[in-house]
Structure 1
Amino acid sequence: MTLRDTLRTAMRALFKNKMRAGLTVLGVVIGIAAVTTMVSIGQSAGAMMQAQFESLGANMVVIMPANARQGPVREGYRPTLTPQDALAIVDECPSVFVTSPIVNAQGQVIYGNSNWSPQELQGVGVDFLQVSTRPLKAGTFFTEQDITGANKVCVIGHTLVAELFQTENPIGATVRIKNIPFRVIGVLEAKGANMMGQDQDNILLMPYTAVRKRLQGSAFSNVDLIVASARTRELMPQAVIEVETLLRERHRINEGQRPDFEVFDTTQIANVLNIITGSLTLMLSAIAAISLVVGGVGIMNIMLVSVTERTREIGVRMAVGARPRDILRQFLVESVLLSTMGGLVGFGLGVGAAASVTTAINSFSGSGVHWPMVISFPAGVVAVIFSAAVGIFFGFYPARRAARLDPIDALRYE
């Protein structure tokens, strides 16, 4: 009996009991669909996070003060970084292209009868746009003269334009922050929300010296953090090493001593989040795969019933020359066909479910956050192969039982 004949006979047997075959394979369909959906959503989340971190800046390296400790007790952050550190990093770290000090502040922005509190009010350096890869939509950015003179100028995001100026051109307008006038010289290109749902256009930038001198009235030149851009993505790990070495030397920190700063690049955060996402996806997929085991048990049960119902047919086949291995192959092929068809249907349903979920997320997440639809067809192939393996594993016992039937007893079976 050829394989083609076996397949034809198996298909005929399955289509003869369509309802039973459909109900039997339901567990496999649900299992494969659930696993496909989980894997696809997990990969989509990873792709979205990667895109979000890439949008933070061009090969960004972040330097910030370390948590101070008194014994085992954390005392919070102490200002240990200076603008001179930022300049030294550019001058003495070959892997670093540009840097920008950052000073964070808070305040309400007033224009005419309107007021608005930006989510981020930051003092930055002249190269901040290069580090953050945020282009200007209109106007100009700060100059070295603005930094040196702590000039009262600012650049605003799209949200502040919409809330304070509506249709009016903001360039050249004067806003007040803590009753201090600042002239708007530029508007940032709209960026939308980040993956946490925070509005990245609700931002106001000014020279970091202006924040310290004008808004905070501070005589200290410390900055809250420094952002740097590595020359290439491949040089980011090297840039981190160079910055750590330089700042240890500048801050007089010996080997073995805990530094008063921390250096990391955005890819490190992205990798950690990808590991977390991958672990969650694997865990949820493993839970969903339990349905495959349930489906496999269902296949084994229905194949045992089929062997019992077709005992006389098996006896006739053996009487006319069918060998035990032909009977074994016959029932094994039926089992594999059942599970494989369930795998194909489940993969299709999983793709549809993943597409629906990502569409729903994109509809409700607001502007700026886009979940890409990621479908791994190699994963689909693996899912179908795994379905076939389930069919082989759970179909082998019924098939072997059919092959071991005594032809005479089988012919006598009523």
Structure 2
Amino acid sequence: MSSLRLLLSAFRLALVSVRKSGVRSLLTALGILIGVAAVTIVVALGEGATRAVQGTIDSMGENAFTVTPRSVARSGARGQRVPPLTEADAAALTEAPTVRHAAPLLSSLTQVSYRENNTAAEIYGTSLAFFDIRAWKVDDGALWSPEADSIGGSVCVIGRTLVQELFDGGDPVGQLLRIGRATLRVVGTLEPKGRSPFGQDQDNVILVPLATMRAKFYPTAPGQIHRVLLSADPEARPARVTEEITQILRQRHRLPDGVENDFRVRSQEEFRAMQQQVFGVLEVLLLSIATISLLVGGIGVMNIMLVSVAERTREIGIRMAIGARELDILLQFLLEAVLLCLLGGLAGALLAALAVGGFGQLTGWDMRVSWRALTVALATSSGIGVLFGFLPARRAAALDPIQALGRE
């Protein structure tokens, strides 16, 4: 008998056996179903979260950098406050050979209302360079003028969420908003950007000129800002850009040699590396937990198959008496275990697809069960079938035909 015919014959017998013990087969496959669903969901969530975070990092702009203040120890004091970043720092950074744009930024939460509608939103005080760095586009209206960018003005640009909540989707351009204790005119609306991977609504924002922010919403020491956003030449290496930024700020802050920086420079590449590290550790942890459930399901399959071998001892003896070889018996029971695990794996993958789709609808993430996740699920379930089905199959194949026929 050829190898193919042998496999087909063993598969046919395994399929008949699985169908005959329907309830037992379903219960046996249930453990594999849960384990495979867990593995598939973990893989799909990891891929979806990675795509979402990557999209957020890309939305920072092309070859973008962020500079923030940082407390350091000086003269034996720990956690001592240090001079914050200033608008002059941001202006000086544009002199770096590799830097294209630099935007100072102040941010805060505020209440905003239009007539009877009221909500909370994030407000950013910045310059027009911000829109070039982040590649944020105006959907309707326009940005504020260069004059307002320099000296301030009672104008603002708002995100899509505020258009929906305050204006019920109508045209807000030219309308007056009550923001905190100030009144500003809407000059433009932004293209929608959706939610960040951490659930933050990126469209629930108000942008105003930095001078307006400082005068009306966030009075600070002269020139003080929270951070600087920068974009560098696409061809520039992140390490070189970081070095140029560091040299300029250390000179401006008069930091002597041996004193650590009182600021932190972060690049897109650094954010990507952090994201990969965090999600890598998280995925390994969750996969380990899911693998335990798969192993428990595999042990359940092995136990049920051992019981099946004991119950079908006489049947095995009859097959051997009429010419079945040890290999035939081994393949039959091994394929039976693999078939049970595959059925559980397919059902688990379907359940995972439904769960992942529902989670994607709730979070707004791009969630889907990829071919990679399906391949992992089916390969894992088949491997579990072979691993935990071999012992029962080997025990069945090793039965003595005469003793097996004597069993009741």
Q: Give the alignment's TM-score, normalised by structure 2.
A: 0.83
Q: Does 1:74 align with 2:79?
A: yes
Partner of 1:337 in structure 2? 339
- Pair 1:153–1:68, CA change in 2 (3 A): farther
In structure 2, C-alpha distance between the alignment counterparts of 1:302 and 1:217, rounded to whole Å: 72
| Amino acid in structure 2 at the alignment position of 1:78 | P
- Pair 1:336–1:56, CA change in 2 (3 A): same
Percent of aligned pairs with the same residue?
37
Check the 8 A contact 1:41/1:358 in 2, yes or no: no
CA RMSD of aligned residues (A): 3.4
- Could you list the per-position Cα deviations for residues 86-134 of structure 1 after superposition, in whole angstroms to 9, with x for gaps in the alignment? 233223232x2211112346777788x7796863333322312111222
What SS is found at the alignment partner of 1:282? helix
What SS is found at the alignment partner of 1:405? coil
| Amino acid in structure 1 at the alignment position of 2:378 | V
What SS is found at the alignment partner of 1:33? helix
Partner of 2:23 in structure 1? 19
Check the 8 A contact 1:105/1:122 in 2, yes or no: yes
The alpha carbon displacement at 1:385 in A equals 1.8
Unaligned residue ranges in structure 2 (runs of 5+) = none
Check the 8 A contact 1:137/1:187 in 2, yes or no: yes
- Pair 1:226–1:313, CA change in 2 (3 A): same
The alpha carbon displacement at 1:157 in A equals 0.8
Q: Does 1:50 align with 2:54?
A: yes
Check the 8 A contact 1:175/1:183 in 2, yes or no: no
The alpha carbon displacement at 1:260 in A equals 1.4
The alpha carbon displacement at 1:152 in A equals 2.5
Partner of 1:392 in structure 2? 386
The alpha carbon displacement at 1:263 in A equals 0.6
Please identify, of 162-171 and 383-392, the stretch whose mean Cα deviation from structure 2 is larger: 162-171
Partner of 2:68 in structure 1? 64
- Pair 1:304–1:196, CA change in 2 (3 A): closer
Check the 8 A contact 1:171/1:187 in 2, yes or no: no
Check the 8 A contact 2:353/2:368 in 1, yes or no: no
| Amino acid in structure 1 at the alignment position of 2:367 | M
Partner of 1:223 in structure 2? 225
| Amino acid in structure 1 at the alignment position of 2:390 | F
Partner of 1:152 in structure 2? 153
Q: Does 1:39 align with 2:40?
A: no
In structure 1, C-alpha distance between the alignment counterparts of 2:253 and 2:206, rounded to whole Å: 31
1:371-410 equivalences under 5 Å are 371-410=365-404
Q: Give the alignment's TM-score, normalised by structure 1.
A: 0.82
In structure 2, C-alpha distance between the alignment counterparts of 1:69 and 1:152, rounded to whole Å: 40
- Pair 1:318–1:98, CA change in 2 (3 A): same
Size of the alignment, in residue pairs?
A: 401
1:201-220 equivalences under 5 Å are 201-212=203-214, 220=222
Q: Does 1:5 align with 2:9?
A: yes
| Amino acid in structure 2 at the alignment position of 1:63 | V
- Pair 1:402–1:62, CA change in 2 (3 A): same
The alpha carbon displacement at 1:325 in A equals 2.9
Partner of 2:316 in structure 1? 314
1:233-382 equivalences under 5 Å are 235-359=237-361, 361-362=362-363, 370-382=364-376
What SS is found at the alignment partner of 1:263? strand
In structure 2, C-alpha distance between the alignment counterparts of 1:19 and 1:227, rounded to whole Å: 62
1:80-229 equivalences under 5 Å are 81-94=85-98, 96-104=99-107, 119-148=121-150, 150-158=151-159, 170-171=173-174, 185-212=187-214, 220-229=222-231
Unaligned residue ranges in structure 1 (runs of 5+) = 363-369
In structure 2, C-alpha distance between the alignment counterparts of 1:174 and 1:320, rounded to whole Å: 90
In structure 2, C-alpha distance between the alignment counterparts of 1:254 and 1:330, rounded to whole Å: 78
The alpha carbon displacement at 1:6 in A equals 1.6
